[in-house]
């Protein structure tokens, strides 16, 4: 960006440019000084006049929005997002904490040759950062893990920078995507199809670690059916080599599913009582577990300790009917014993109250069972499928989609997951958050696409 290439230029009367740090796919990053705090910051800039694609502006704004919601010691702190208009241009800026140190790419270029222990230590820290990103709702996928975007301090601390390619998981899962974002050599194969899942960042991490160990770009390493062949080029333990081989598997289903899984495996941890041949997928809120045993697909929905508004509604009616009436009777007899009102008056009040509560309870439960009946008509399923565990063969699944029902009394629509299968159909997840329903439908549709 030619308007910011001069050092000592002051932006927005607050940031003084010190020099250029680097240039990525979306914007140029400069080192600057915050005149208000006298602290060094990283100032990422994007020129509207020099931008040839509107997609870059969208990615830039998405990066600012994502950074504003992140809080992790391995991610430089977000400071500000603003724009500056001139007579010839409009420039967008993201101000962020300047991560001290050098990128892994710079260190290798300067002749650094890390040991296996050092590479493991870097892997631990990056996996913890990725696990944090994947724990967000919705999970965030960096999509551009590479040596240039990883800063290493002298004390061994690691920072992950440049979130210009960050992707929202649910947006991709539900609506699909076609934008290819990433860096050749470090991109997972699915990124070439515009797809990004949780394990996409793991592939970028694995190829980055191979770059540190082999001192060669991943694109220059030998491959066989897209699989990187690196064992003869490195001198590391068999255990670590096996781990690297799994994290760089070209097929999504063969890779670790999440950063937590990869971190546990790197630490040598094995979940108790779990068959390693089975694949477990947990929803972002850890309320749903998908267990793929190759023969059966098990869907387990864990109890919700924070009921939705709809569940609170039904619970309120139940508690009112169960406790409010006895309390009213006791209070009425107590006041009657004081002699302030006649017996006829209190009997009338209590009868009216009992009648109103009964009508309310009967109406509520009638509506609830009418809703279940409607779901049964729409999905050709049994009402018990809302609560009972589901065990189904993947090859029997024909269609998975979100279904919705509009409730005029509640002035809202509720959705649930529907599976059309042989010989029966299922509907479930009525009280799950909308984001988890979308995640579950996306994961089940991925299973269908793999079978096809």
Catalytic residues: 144
Task: Give how far Cα 237 sits from Cα of 117, 227, 232, Å.
Answer: 10, 19, 12
**What's the CA gap between 374 and 380, in Å, rounded?**
10
Q: Are 31 and 45 within 8 A, CB to CB?
A: no
- H or E segment at 18? strand 15-23
Q: In 215-341, which residue ranges form alpha helices assigned H by DSSP? A: 238-247, 259-266, 309-319, 325-338
- Taken as a whole, the chain contains a residue count of 452
Distance CA(128)–CA(201), nearest Å, equals 12
* Pairwise CA distance, residues 256 & 243, whole Å: 9
Exposed (0-12), middle (13-18) or buried (19+): which is 150, by Cβ within 10 Å?
buried
- The CA distance from 244 to 303, in Å, is 36
Place of tokens 């097929």: 251
374: left (phi over 0), alpha (psi -120 to 50) or beta: alpha
- Tell me how far apart the alpha carbons of residues 6 and 8 are, in angstroms, rounded to a whole number: 7
Q: What is the DSSP letter of 305?
A: S
Structure tokens at 452: 């096809």
CA torsion sign, 170 to 171 to 174 to 180?
Answer: negative
* C-beta atoms surrounding 181 within 10 Å: 20
Longest dimension (CA), the chain: 97
- What is the edge-to-edge ordering of all strands in the sheet holding 412-421? 397-407, 412-421, 425-428
Nearest to 17, CA basis, from 109, 91, 103: 91
């Amino acid at each position: 960006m030619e308007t910011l290439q001069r050092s000592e230029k002051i932006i927005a009367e607050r940031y003084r440019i010190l020099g250029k740090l680097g240039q990525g796919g979306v914007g140029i990053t400069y080192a600057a000084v915050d005149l208000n705090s006298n602290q060094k910051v990283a100032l990422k800039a994007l020129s509207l006049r020099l931008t040839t694609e509107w997609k870059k502006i969208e990615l830039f704004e998405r990066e600012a929005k994502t950074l504003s919601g992140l809080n992790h010691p391995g991610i430089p702190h977000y400071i500000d997002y603003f724009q500056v208009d001139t007579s010839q241009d409009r420039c967008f800026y993201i101000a962020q904490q300047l991560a001290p140190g050098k990128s892994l790419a710079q260190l290798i270029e300067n002749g650094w040759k890390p040991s296996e222990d050092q590479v493991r230590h870097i892997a631990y820290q990056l996996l913890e950062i990725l696990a944090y990103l994947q724990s967000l709702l919705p999970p965030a996928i960096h999509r551009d893990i590479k040596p240039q975007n990883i800063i290493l301090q002298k004390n061994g601390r690691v920072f992950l920078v440049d979130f210009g390619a960050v992707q929202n998981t649910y947006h991709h899962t539900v609506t699909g995507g076609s934008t290819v974002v990433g860096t050749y050599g470090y991109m997972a194969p699915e990124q070439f199809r515009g797809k990004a899942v949780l394990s996409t960042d793991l592939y970028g991490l694995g190829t980055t670690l191979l770059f540190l160990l082999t001192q060669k770009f991943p694109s220059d390493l030998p491959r066989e059916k897209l699989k990187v062949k690196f064992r003869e080029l490195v001198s590391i333990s068999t255990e670590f080599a096996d781990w690297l081989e799994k994290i760089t598997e070209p097929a999504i289903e063969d890779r670790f599913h999440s950063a937590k899984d990869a971190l546990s495996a790197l630490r040598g941890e094995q979940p108790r009582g779990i068959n390693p041949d089975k694949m477990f997928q947990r929803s972002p809120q850890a309320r749903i577990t998908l267990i793929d045993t190759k023969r059966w697909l098990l869907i387990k929905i864990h109890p919700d300790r924070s009921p939705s508004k709809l569940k609170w509604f039904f619970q309120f009616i139940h508690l009112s009917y169960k406790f409010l009436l006895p309390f009213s009777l006791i209070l009425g007899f107590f006041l009657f014993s004081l002699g302030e009102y006649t017996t006829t008056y209190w009997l009338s009040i209590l009868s009216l109250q009992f009648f109103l509560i009964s009508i309310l309870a009967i109406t509520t439960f009638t509506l609830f069972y009418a809703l279940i009946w409607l779901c049964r008509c729409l999905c050709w399923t049994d009402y018990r499928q809302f609560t009972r565990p589901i065990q189904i063969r993947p090859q029997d699944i024909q269609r998975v989609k979100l279904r919705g029902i509009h409730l005029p009394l509640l002035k809202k629509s509720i959705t649930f997951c529907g599976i059309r299968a042989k010989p029966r159909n299922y509907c479930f997840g009525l009280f799950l958050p909308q984001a988890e329903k979308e995640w579950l439908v996306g994961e089940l549709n991925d299973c269908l696409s793999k079978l096809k």
